[in-house]
Amino acid sequence: MEVKKITFQIHGDDRGQLIALEEFKEVPFDIKRVYYMYDTGEGVRRGFHAHKCLEQILICIHGSCKILLDNGTEKEIVPLDKPYEGLYVSNDMWREMYDFSPDAVLMVLASELYDEADYIRDYDAFLEYVNKHA
Ligand code: TYD
């Protein structure tokens, strides 16, 4: 499976580091929504879904976590621990997030507003979806 990681340009100087993200530049879609997870409990695993349309970029802007990506055929575990690195996750990818460090902040840039109807939360339904759209 091809894992699409994007390394963002760091605008650093003697004051520190700054990352700027703009739609259709660093981020390959229209950014309609931003959300982030923090204070994630030890041992918590979340996600467990794919999407019909939504594209996302995941950035662990502080601390570390792991992302399991599953395209229905292959699985890949992607560690995220750099604020200047984004993981592109396409709609048709089952994802789970886990191994959050206590200080982890996982920020997500999303191509659509929140829409529960876009979620595929059942793993068998996901396999059916990817096979139908292959
Ligand atoms: P949930 O889908 O359980 O998160 P995850 O997939 O990471 O396990 O979302 C938790 C709650 O937050 C749920 O009540 C829906 C709400 N939520 C929003 O209101 N807007 C959003 O953009 C997201 C991602 C979640």
Confidence of residue 133 (pLDDT cuts 50, 70, 90): confident
Closest C-alpha to 116, from 61, 56, 49, 63: 49
Q: Which residues line ligand 1 (CB under 6 A)?
A: 33, 35, 46-47, 49, 114
Query: Is 49 noted as a catalytic residue in this protein?
Result: yes
Query: Which tens digits make up the pLDDT trace of 29-49?
Result: 999 999 999 999 999 999 999
Backbone angles phi, psi at 5, to 5 degrees: -100, 140
Looking at the CA of residue 49, tell me the nearest atom of ligand 1. Answer: 6
Mean pLDDT of 100-115: 98
Specify the DSSP element, H or E, that contains 69: strand 65-70
What does pTM read for this prediction?
Answer: 0.96
Q: How many CB atoms lie within 10 A of CB 78?
A: 18
Q: How many angstroms does the Cα of residue 22 sit away from the middle of ligand 1?
A: 24
**pLDDT-based confidence at residue 134 (cuts at 50, 70, 90):** confident
